[in-house]
Amino acid sequence: MKDIFHDNKNTLRHRRYFVVLCLLGVLVPSVLFGFPVDNTPNHSVSERAKRIPIKPVIPLADRNQQGRVFLERADRLWMDEKVSTEFQMVTGNVMFRKGGMYMYCDSANFYEGSGSLEAFGNVRMEQGDTLFVYADELDYDGAAEFATFYGEGASPVRLINRDVTLETYIFYYDVANNLGYYDNNGTITDVENRLSSGYGEYSPDTKEAEFRNNVVLQDLNKKDFRMSTDLLRYNTDTHIANIVSPTVIETDSGTVYSSNGWYDTESEVSELYYRSLVVSNGGSTLTGDTIFYDHVAAFGEAWGKMVLTDSVRQSMLEGDYGCYYQEQDSSFATGHARILEYSRGDTLYMHGDTIRTFLLEDTTHIVAVYPRVRFWRVDIQGLCDSLSFLERDSTLYMHRHPIVWNEARQVFGNIIMVHFNDSTADWAKLPDFGFVAEHLDEEFCNQISGKEMIARFADGMMSELDVNGNVEVISLPEEKDSTFNKIVSAESSFLKANFNKEDGTVQKIKMWPESPGTVTPLYLAKKSIFHLPNFQWYEALRPKDKDDIFNIPPEMEALLKEPDPSARKRKVN
């Protein structure tokens, strides 16, 4: 019995040793890895269903360590030495935590030493109550604090930050700097816009996003809006797109081309730099060093070498500053303002301190240039204090000391009206005094003045001239040998002159009723009879070329301050 008792005691002792060893086998891995370990994964389904989720046993103080990843929850944890001893495998309701960031998944490989993990199935990352990332898989590098999310099939990776949603199939997230990006196509959508690109990055802290390669911004509320570029910066809070590369903006009112500037997608206004171009659907274009453009009002302002072109009217408006209202078909320019009209082969260049184009209530289009107007074209030059052109009746009005030159001829009066037919002058009228002078040499000019003048043109050349009331004439008839030896002066009530269509020379002059005239040989003529009372030769004021229109001679300034020529004393017949 003693031996049996002794044997039984030994047997019990051995059993105690065996139990202790078993406990050590369970507790040691638990201390090492932070959780009770199940090295017998082949439990039945019913047994696994009864298991209680594993609770962490790491001391609470340790779980507040900054930068460390903790496994907070899992239904099952084990290690497969045949696969690797570097990571633990966890499944079922898995939750990891790093500071205030939580990561959830169906299963994961957890590298506790480095704080890295590989997560699979229903991956979700949460940071506070404003940032969420959803994916199929996640690779997290604990040392670099860098996460890579993967989507699959109909389930792309989704980042949701308040009202911002980012979608792609591979998403990289720099946890340390709170910056995410994709490089294989993706989209970012907020309450205003949807942006797609080959590469995109987003900062939840600053709300700043940068897009590269085939960037397209589409307004969610306006189907006809589209912005295309290869590099764009955008703020999801302000909804402002910063243009930093060649960009095309297409709207219902036109198209914008710019390489630098910004566009507020909420208010639909933009400020554009570096000679950006605004093209309206009506055919007008606006460019300048700086442009402010309201896409809703279709209104644009430009500073610095502003150019506004009208392809329909074949004209161009320039200035240091200018603006354009597309709906009202009106424009404004000042500061070296110049308008160009190129409907004919030769371009007409016109300058004034201010140039305006606008529509009247009856839709009549008007061009107004004022003050100190000067214009130049190869075949015609002129000046006045103000000028207007009415598109309805195709008539040009020149006010206050208008002067027009054509080759050797000079015409001036109180008002000059010119009518155009298909951009070519067909008649001109001086309704309140007119004076025509044709320069022959330094001392002599043919001259005609009268109360009213009407000139008609054919193929750009004067064909007829009618003068009504107070007609005065001084002429030097050309002899057969092309010399001048007499001066003729005459007065009458009416005059009609016909001109050669080839060279513009006078063919015939008729004056009525008949009135006496004088013929004086040149060698007997005194200089006092060489000119009519109101004669002035303004050659010093004549624009020399398209750039000289900006030069205002002192003589012109003085002339514009004088009373109209009609105020000068004249004889009355």
**In the chain, domain spans:** 31-39+52-184
pLDDT at 275 over 60: yes
Give the Cα separation of 153 and 196 in Å (integer).
19
Give the Cα separation of 85 and 76 in Å (integer).
17
Supply 440's token pair.
């022959």
Report which residue type is found at 203: S
Taking only the tens place, the pLDDT of each residue in 327-348 is 999 999 999 999 999 987 789 9
Give the Cα separation of 336 and 306 in Å (integer).
10
What architecture is domain 31-39+52-184? Sandwich (2.60)
Taking only the tens place, the pLDDT of each residue in 493-524 is 999 999 887 777 778 889 999 877 899 999 99
Q: What is the largest CA-CA distance in the chain?
A: 178
Query: Of residues 85 and 520, which shows the higher confidence score?
Result: 520
Give the Cα separation of 481 and 519 in Å (integer).
19
What average pLDDT does range 41-69 have in this prediction? 54
pLDDT at 34 over 70: no
Share of the chain above pLDDT 70, in %: 87
Give the Cα separation of 348 and 341 in Å (integer).
5
CB 167, CB 156: distance < 8 Å = yes
Give the Cα separation of 456 and 454 in Å (integer).
7
- For every residue of 113-130, DSSP letters joined together read TTTEEEEEEEEEEEETTT
Give the Cα separation of 453 and 461 in Å (integer).
16
- The pLDDT-based confidence of 303 (bands split at 50, 70, 90) is very high
The helix (H) or strand (E) run that includes residue 45 is helix 45-50
Give the Cα separation of 551 and 232 in Å (integer).
44
Burial class (CB in 10 A: 0-12, 13-18, 19+), 100: exposed
Q: Is the peptide bond before 402 cis (omega within 30 degrees of 0)?
A: no
Give the Cα separation of 396 and 367 in Å (integer).
9
- The pLDDT-based confidence of 63 (bands split at 50, 70, 90) is low
Tokens 């008539």 sit on residue: 395
Does the CA dihedral 82-85-86-90 come out positive or negative? positive
Query: How confident is the prediction for the chain on average, in pLDDT?
Result: 87
pLDDT at 414 over 90: yes
What average pLDDT does range 195-199 have in this prediction? 99
pLDDT at 295 over 50: yes
Closest to 182 in 3D by CA, of 142, 206, 154, 148: 148
- The pLDDT-based confidence of 301 (bands split at 50, 70, 90) is very high
Give the Cα separation of 209 and 192 in Å (integer).
14
Tell me the C-alpha to C-alpha distance, in Å, between residue 339 and each of 314, 332, 355, 541: 11, 11, 8, 20
Taking only the tens place, the pLDDT of each residue in 470-486 is 999 999 988 888 888 99
Query: Of residues 72 and 48, which shows the higher confidence score?
Result: 72
- Residue 572 pLDDT: 36
- Residue 84 pLDDT: 72
Closest to 274 in 3D by CA, of 259, 293, 284: 259
What average pLDDT does range 91-113 have in this prediction? 95
422's CB contacts (< 8 A; 6+ apart) are: none
Share of the chain above pLDDT 90, in %: 70
- Residue 1 pLDDT: 37
CB 233, CB 244: distance < 8 Å = yes
Instruction: Enter the pTM of the model.
Output: 0.81
pLDDT at 28 over 60: no
- Residue 127 pLDDT: 94
- Residue 503 pLDDT: 76
Q: How far is CA 301 from the centre of its chain?
A: 10
**Which of 190-194, 301-305, 508-512 is predicted with the least confidence, judged by mean pLDDT?**
508-512
Tell me the C-alpha to C-alpha distance, in Å, between residue 404 and each of 33, 376, 435, 439, 562: 101, 10, 11, 13, 18
- Residue 566 pLDDT: 67
- Residue 62 pLDDT: 64
Supply 309's token pair.
């072109």
pLDDT at 465 over 60: yes
pLDDT at 309 over 80: yes
- Residue 443 pLDDT: 83
Taking only the tens place, the pLDDT of each residue in 424-451 is 888 999 999 999 999 988 888 999 999 9
CB 176, CB 189: distance < 8 Å = no
pLDDT at 324 over 90: yes
